[in-house]
Amino acid sequence: MVSTAISAPKTPSPKVGPTTPDVLLRVDGLLDEEERQIRDTVRALVRSRIAPEIAGWYEAGELPARDLAVELGSLGLLGMHLRGYGCAGTSAVAYGLACLELEAGDSGIRSLVSVQGSLAMFALHAFGSEEQKEQWLPQMSAGRAIGCFGLTEPDFGSDPAGMRTRATRSGDDWILNGAKMWITNGSVADVAIVWARTDEGIRGFAVPTDTPGFAAHAITSKMSLRASVTSELVLDDVRLPDSARLPGATSLRAPLSCLNEARFGIVFGAVGAARDCLETALAYARSRTQFDRPIGGFQLTQQKLADMTLEYGKALLLALHLGRAKDADGLRPEQVSLGKLNNVREAIGIARTARTILGASGITGEYPVMRHANNLESVLTYEGTSEMHTLVIGQALTGTAAFR
C-alpha cells in the first residue's frame, strides 16, 4: 500500500563557520557536470600558471603571449565555442565560464583568449573562405598562430562607420592604407583581421603580418591592462591578393557581429574579476585585526561584504541567463549590452569597495584588487563604452536612436 502522507520539505543543514560567496549562492547547482569540469580545469590553470606570475607581468608591463597561447590552446580554450577546424565546439555557457575564470586571474589573459577566439577566429569562421579557414583556424586553435582584430582607429572608436582605413583595387589585388589603434595582440599577431572602406562598402581582410607595408607598434604607457599586448597597426600600401578578402563580410554588420561575440565573453569575464576581489576582501577581513578583533566582525565591513556578494551573485545569474539564452536561440545585440553594462559596472564597484576593506594594502601589488580595478576601467570602455551600451538599451526600449 502506497502511503499518501505528505513529507515535509527538506531543509538544508545549517552551515557552520564562514562560507564562500559561491557556496552561499549554490553556484554548482546551476551548472551541469561538463560545465563544472571546464570551469574547474580553467580555474586550476589560472591558479597554477597565471596567479604566481601575474603581479610581475603587470608591474613589468609585459606578457609572454606566445607561450601562453600554446598552453591555452593545448586545453582547447582558443575558439572553444566554434565548431570544426580543431575547435572544441563547446556551449556558450562553457565558454563564458572559461572567460570568468581567466579574468579572475587577470583581464589581460581573458582579452588574449577573447580577441583570439571571439574576434579574429570568429571573423574567419563566420566570414572567411574555406581556404582561409583551413590556413588559419587549426593553427590559431592550437595557439601556434595568434590573431588580432583591427577595427578601432585613432579617431573612430564608438563610430566605426567613420573609419578612414581604405582598400582600393589594383588589378586583381587590393592596396590597404590606414591605421588601427588599441589593438590587443597586435604586435605578436601572425594574422590581422583588418576592416577597411572600399568603393562597395566595408570589407574585411586577413592580413599576414609579415606582408610588406604592415607594421605593429606596441603601446607601452598604460596604467591598465598592463599584462596584455596592446598595439597600433599601420598599413602603408599593403598589397594583398583578392584571396585575402573575407568573402562573407559585405558590410559593417560583419565586424559588429564579431564584437557581440567578444562582448558576451566580457559579460562573464567581469564577474571573474569581481569574484577575485570579493574573495580577497573576505580573506583579508577574517585575518586583519583592529581594536582587538578581526575587521570582518564590524558591522560596516559586513555590510560591504554582503552588498558585494549580492551584486556578484546578480551579475553571475545575469551572465548565466544570457548564456542559456544564447545556447537556446541566440542573443540580440541589445541583450548583450544589458550584460556588459551591468556586469562591468558592478565589477568596478566591487573592486573599489574591496579596496576600502584592504585599506592601504589594497593599493599594493601584493593583492590583486587595485590591478583588477585598473583593468576594469579599460573593460568598461572597450568593445562599447558604457554610454553606448546605455543608448543601445534605450533604443531597444523606445525605438529611437539617441546617438545618430
Identify whether the C-beta of residue 273 lies closer than 8 Å to the C-beta of residue 376.
yes
CATH topology of domain 253-398: Butyryl-CoA Dehydrogenase, subunit A; domain 3 (1.20.140)
21-142: CATH architecture? Orthogonal Bundle (1.10)
Residue 4 predicted with pLDDT over 50: no
The reply to whether 383 belongs to the active site is yes
pLDDT value at residue 275: 98
The set of cell numbers assigned to 224 is 591598465
Q: pTM for this one?
A: 0.93
81 in helix, strand or coil?
coil
Residue 155 pLDDT grade (very low, low, confident, very high; cuts 50, 70, 90) = confident
Dist. CA 266–CA 379, nearest whole Å: 8
The angle, 0 to 180 degrees and rounded to 10, between the axes of the packed helices 107-114 and 253-287 is 160
Residue 289 gets which letter from DSSP? E
Per-residue pLDDT tens digits for 207-229: 999 999 999 999 998 999 999 99
The set of cell numbers assigned to 129 is 573562405
Q: Assign domain 147-250 to a CATH class.
A: mainly beta
241 in helix, strand or coil?
strand
Residue 367 gets which letter from DSSP? S
The set of cell numbers assigned to 299 is 558591522
What are the structural domain ranges in the chain? 21-142, 147-250, 253-398
Q: Considering the candidates 62, 366, 383, 387, report the single residue annotated as catalytic.
A: 383
Residue 6 predicted with pLDDT over 60: no
